[in-house]
Amino acid sequence: MSEATSPPSTPSPWPSPPRSKGERSAGMKLVIAVLIAVALMVPLLMVYGLLWDRQQQAETAQASIGQGWGGQQTIAGPVLVIPYRVTEQQTVTENGKDVTRTVETIRNLYLSPQANKADVVIKPEKRRKAIYETVVYESKISGSADFVLPADIARYGIAREALLLERAELRLGISDARGLVDGNSVTVNGTPLPLKPGKGLLSTANSGAFAFVDWTGATPMKVDYRIGVRGLGDFRLVPRGVDTRWTVKSSWPNPSFGGDFLPVTRSVTGSGFTATYAVSSLALGQDQLLTGDLSAPQVSYGGGRDAYAETAAAEAVAAADSAGETSGGVAKAVAISLIQPVDLYSQVDRSIKYGFLFIGFTFVAFLMFDIIAGARVAAAEYLLTGVALVLFFVLLLAFAEVIGFLFAYLLAAGAIIGLLAAYSAAVLKSWKRARFLAAMLIGLYALLYVLLNLEAYSLLIGSVLMFFALAGVMYMTRNIDWGGAGKKDEVAA
């Protein structure tokens, strides 16, 4: 196809051929281009639906990996649970009369440690199912806790003689006991105790482990514990006691720290991270002695809802009501998430939001070639070009799931730029114009990639560039007679 040449007598780089009598005005061409651009928002929304569907499939695949491995883990304890006798007055109706009786019931007292120290090692591992990848972990917790029976226990309305210390239980809360591995142990004052399943903490009675403890309460009790648990997603620790101190280490280089408490010190490098936590009972807002269990912590990232915590909290209320006990409140927790460096679905989602810019800039370029250079772009050609621009996001999503976001972006952008360059050469009747359009698309795709990596300044940069683009279009079309058959006879230099 031959290049279009510019006669020396005209200042326009692309000369306008003579216009026929029935040709649409520049304003009508603008209206048609805008209507087609608006209509293309429908397939863009369909791409959003496709993205949501693929994201749901990825989450389902991740959940299926966690079914045999262990889900999100929340570790609480150790806590000493001591039954005690309570004498109550109960009124019952017999033969139509109210009768008051004195009955004795058994309730539980929850004693948190005076000091709780632990070293936590989290070993991450990537697992794949089909094209989907997720990060699972295996954690090892080695800790020690000191228990002391408060001398002023009578101030809590509980007589020392009412305590059934011979029936005390040492409990560990584990949100998903399926993830427990071999090697778990508890030692009290140097004596190993057998662990039994169930009777956990956080009002989830059947999730965790416990051991019967023989303790008189006259002297402090030293507890050493080892817990190994596998999990998927967040790893959470619930501080209990007067003074809680943890050191968490992992080889994962991209952690996210959340929850109610952040680490007092942390070090994140390419080879992993180390975080230390120090939480006092004053910061917790919880007493060392509680007459009711705590409900599960409601920890979330990004302001989202935590379905597990809400379900567990509802179970806690029901369990407390059935046991005749008052809940000790909502537990607080620290949370560590082993996140992927790049979430391809969020990247694709953000890129789709800029789809209208690609359509708008490309249509503006076609419109300028039409009304200024006389290329005569038909409505069908606008539509096909817009469909190709929307197809970029479908290609990006499809390739990103297989080869990663960066290479998918380069491949999809290259394919669409090549397609539109070849097509516009025929539509605009010039390879020179086609090269101009291809250069503009290369700039747009490069700009979009930069904006995707500059989250904090993407709006600022995008809005400034749009301002200059609009100013350029207004300058180029300042002499257009939008209501007439085309350009005014006088064209400014």
**What's the pLDDT tens digit per position in 9-46?**
444 444 444 445 555 666 777 787 778 878 888 888 88
Q: How far is 264 from 283, CA to CA, in rounded Å?
A: 13
411 — pLDDT class (breaks 50, 70, 90): very high
Q: Residue 98 above 70 pLDDT? A: yes
488 — pLDDT class (breaks 50, 70, 90): very low
pLDDT value of residue 445: 84
Q: How far is 367 from 385, CA to CA, in rounded Å?
A: 13
pLDDT value of residue 425: 84
pLDDT value of residue 455: 63
What is the arithmetic mean of pLDDT over 427-433? 80
Q: Residue 308 above 70 pLDDT? A: no
pLDDT value of residue 12: 43
Q: How far is 446 from 417, CA to CA, in rounded Å?
A: 12
Percentage of the residues of the chain whose pLDDT score is greater than 90: 11
What is the arithmetic mean of pLDDT over 91-106? 75
Q: How many Cα atoms within 13 Å fall on the side-chain side of residue 108?
A: 25
Q: Residue 325 above 60 pLDDT? A: no
Q: How far is 336 from 453, CA to CA, in rounded Å?
A: 24
Which residue is listed with tokens 């990103």?
A: 400
pLDDT value of residue 276: 93
| Listed ranges 139-143, 282-286, 305-309; the one with the highest mean pLDDT | 139-143
Q: Could you tell me the CA-to-CA distances from 131 to 127, 360, 398, 407 in Å, in that order?
A: 11, 34, 11, 16
Q: Residue 81 above 70 pLDDT? A: yes
Q: Residue 490 above 50 pLDDT? A: no
Strands 196-197 and 255-259: unpaired
Which residue is listed with tokens 């086609």?
A: 434
Q: How many Cα atoms within 13 Å fall on the side-chain side of residue 330?
A: 12
pLDDT value of residue 485: 46
In 3D space, the residue among 238, 466, 482, 225 whose CA is nearest the CA of residue 336 turns out to be 238
Percentage of the residues of the chain whose pLDDT score is greater than 70: 81
pLDDT value of residue 7: 46
pLDDT, tens digit, for every residue of 270-279?
Answer: 888 999 999 9
pTM of the predicted model over 0.75: no
pLDDT, tens digit, for every residue of 104-161?
Answer: 788 888 888 999 999 999 998 887 777 777 788 889 999 999 998 888 888 877 888 8
Of 32 and 204, which is predicted with more confidence? 32
pLDDT, tens digit, for every residue of 289-301?
Answer: 888 888 777 765 4
In 3D space, the residue among 279, 182, 204, 296 whose CA is nearest the CA of residue 240 turns out to be 279
Helix then strand count (H, E) for the chain reads: 10, 19
Q: Residue 233 above 70 pLDDT? A: yes
By CB neighbour count within 10 A (0-12 exposed, 13-18 middle, 19+ buried), where does 90 fall? Answer: exposed
Name the percent of the chain in helix, strand, coil, to the closest 5: 40, 30, 30
Q: How far is 440 from 382, CA to CA, in rounded Å?
A: 16
pLDDT value of residue 113: 92
pLDDT value of residue 9: 42
pLDDT value of residue 205: 53
DSSP helix/strand/coil, 217: coil
Q: Residue 189 above 60 pLDDT? A: yes
Q: What is the mean pLDDT of the chain?
A: 78
H helices of 253-378, where?
281-284, 307-323, 344-352, 355-371
pLDDT value of residue 24: 64
Q: Residue 166 above 90 pLDDT? A: no
pLDDT value of residue 320: 45
pLDDT value of residue 17: 46
User: DSSP assignment, residue 487?
Assistant: B
Of 101 and 384, which is predicted with more confidence? 384
Q: Which of 107-116, 132-141, 370-379, 440-449 has the lowest mean pLDDT?
A: 370-379
What is the arithmetic mean of pLDDT over 411-418? 90
In 3D space, the residue among 106, 65, 68 whose CA is nearest the CA of residue 87 turns out to be 106
pLDDT, tens digit, for every residue of 43-72?
Answer: 888 888 888 888 888 777 777 776 677 778
What is the arithmetic mean of pLDDT over 238-266? 89
Angle between the N-to-C axes of helices 405-427 and 344-352, in degrees from 0 to 180, rounded to the nearest 10:
30
Q: Residue 6 above 60 pLDDT? A: no
pLDDT value of residue 141: 92
Name the helix (H) or strand (E) containing 125.
Answer: strand 115-129
